[in-house]
Amino acid sequence: MKEEIHIQSLKEAHPELDMLIRMEEMLWLNLRLEAFQKAITSAPLSKENVEAAEERLQRFAPYIAKAFPETKTSNGLIESPLVSIPAMKHSLERLSGQQIPGELLLKCDSHLPISGSIKARGGIYEVLKHAEQLAIQNGLLTEQDDYSVLDEERFRAFFSNYSIAVGSTGNLGLSIGIMSAKLGFHVTVHMSADAKVWKKELLRSKKVTVVEYESDYSEAVEKGRLQAEKDPACYFIDDENSHDLFLGYAVAASRLKKQLDALNTPVDEQHPLFVYLPCGVGGGPGGVAFGLKLLFGDHVHCFFAEPTHSPCMLLGLMTGLHDRISVQEIGIDNLTAADGLAVGRPSGFVGKTIEPFLSGVYTVSDERLFELLKELADTEDLYLEPSALAGMYGPVHLVKAGRGYLLKHQLTEKMSNGTHIVWGTGGSMVPHDVMNAYYKQGASQTRG
């Protein structure tokens, strides 16, 4: 952040930067992608770490089932459906004029219980881990116990001696806020200017303290961090650097594998899997992609999706500067209706970790997000928030601009046996009137 950014020399080194600065939709392919077996040797996290997170969520399942009755049917696991969306695939082909070989599936994290977004994975996991640690350290719990006891008043009284804080554009605040408040913690959410009013109101209704800022996400995080540091009983959830958040997201992969098995959808040498993940600061898509690579290795191809106005991860990866550069420094405003993705500076930890595993990053315009939102509602009767539609244009970008990638990895012939998974990251908690307005915006701009 101290070093000076020389845009001219960056442009010379990276000719694609011009297109990014012009805020045109683009696909960037990652030349630092490595074969999985090589990439994993230098990763800061391992399969064992992800499995430990999975076991921890299993320990908490009896508590979750009790505290959130909507998770009873899944035995206390916070999981979402994986569904086929053939009608939407036709729409994409019609809108883009491109044939999309392979099957199109939607992972409905939009419908995750408790907080209705992908943040119900990482955010909730980190709160649970912190609560477990406190309870064990104080002799109130052992790993062998039935964790449903955590729903008792004595635990709420115990956790009320502690507080949790987080900076958020909205959805992380919802997850952390709802989970922490349920356990009995005092919780403060530092919200950036783009956070939606309904998210703040919902949190306040659950006795969460919401602090609002005029500035963007990075500053809300910074202010939250500083305030939390003053209080030794306060635990700050650090969206930019947290390994725990990342691992909570990564657990999604083994759950997805079971769902693919149930659909008789193979992933192997002859059946490639392409996954498209909306990216903000990077933890959510990074964790999920990392988990998927651990399970499927070179047979899964992960792409991040960002708004043309907030392509922070693309910029960090392309230049190799990671969190040492922000989109504002190259003249991009970081203003987007995709509030979950309105991040100007990426996580350095995620960028460096995911670099050898990630196939590429692409951008989509806000207009496109609304168009796809309306289209998905019309074709499949599924309602997602604008951020969550960023993944939907991935298959189009790949067939349109990714020929080089497909050739290089000998995928061209295998595409028709392949599967595309669009990660639908949020939306089921959006109030009706707000969703209606999104839909109308999509409808008003629909071309001929």
Q: How many angstroms separate the CA atoms of 128 and 182, rounded? A: 11
310 binds ligand PLP (CB under 6 A): no
How many residues bind ligand PLP (CB under 6 A)? The answer is 19
- Give the HSE-up count for residue 263: Cα atoms under 13 Å, Cβ half-sphere: 19
Q: 370 in helix, strand or coil?
A: helix
- Of 46-54, 221-229, 283-291, 362-370, the window that binds ligand PLP (rule: CB under 6 A) is 283-291
Question: Which lies closer to ligand PLP via its Cβ, residue 141 or residue 332?
Answer: 332
Enumerate residues 180-239 that contact ligand PLP by CB under 6 A: none
- Considering the complex, what minimum distance in angstroms separates the CB of residue 380 from ligand PLP? 18
Selected from 78, 100, 118, 377, the binder of ligand PLP by CB under 6 A is 118
Contact 79/150 with Cβ under 8 angstroms? no
How many angstroms separate the CA atoms of 107 and 325, rounded?
31
**Which position among 202, 251, 256, 279 is part of the footprint of ligand PLP (CB under 6 A)?**
279
Written as one letter, the residue type at 210 is V
- Tell me the two tokens of residue 332: 């991009």
Judged by beta carbon, residue 278 or residue 418, the one nearer ligand PLP is 278
* Under 8 Å between Cβ of 364 and 305: yes
Strand partners of residue 424: 108
Identify the bridge partners of residue 364 per DSSP, sorted by sequence position. 307
Which range, of 260-268, 278-286, 291-299, 318-326, touches ligand PLP by CB under 6 A? 278-286
Alpha-carbon distance of 364 to 216, in angstroms, equals 20
Secondary-structure percent of the chain, ordered helix, strand, coil, rounded to 5: 55, 15, 30
Supply φ then ψ for residue 156, to 5 degrees: -60, -40
Of the two residues 158 and 423, which places its CB atom closer to ligand PLP in the complex? 423
In the chain, the amino acid numbered 58 is Q
How near is the Cβ of 276 to ligand PLP at its closest, in Å?
11
CA angle, 443 then 446 then 448, to 5°: 130
Using the structure block, give the residue that is written with the tokens 């629909």: 446
Q: Which of 113, 224, 248, 280 binds ligand PLP (CB under 6 A)?
A: 280
- Our finding on whether 64 is near ligand PLP (CB under 6 A) is no
* Residue 282 sits in the site that holds ligand PLP (CB under 6 A): yes
Nearest distance from residue 171's CB to ligand PLP, in Å? 3
Cβ 312 to ligand PLP, closest distance in Å? Answer: 9
Q: Taking each helix axis from N to C terminus, what angle separates 283-296 and 243-250, rounded to the nearest 10 degrees?
A: 50
Query: What does the per-residue mask of binding to ligand PLP show for 366-405, with x meaning CB under 6 A?
Result: -------------------x-xx-----------------
Judged by CB under 6 A, does residue 244 bind ligand PLP? no
Decide: is 111 part of the binding site for ligand PLP (CB under 6 A).
Answer: no
Residue from 66, 89, 119, 397 in contact with ligand PLP (CB under 6 A): 119
Establish if 281 lies at the interface with ligand PLP (CB under 6 A): yes
Enclosing H/E stretch for 218: helix 217-229
Place of tokens 């119900």: 120
Under the binding rule (CB under 6 A), the answer on residue 117 touching ligand PLP is yes
- Tell me the closest approach of the beta carbon of residue 361 to ligand PLP, in angstroms: 11
Q: Point out which residues bind ligand PLP (CB under 6 A).
A: 117-119, 171, 278-285, 340-341, 385, 387-388, 425-426
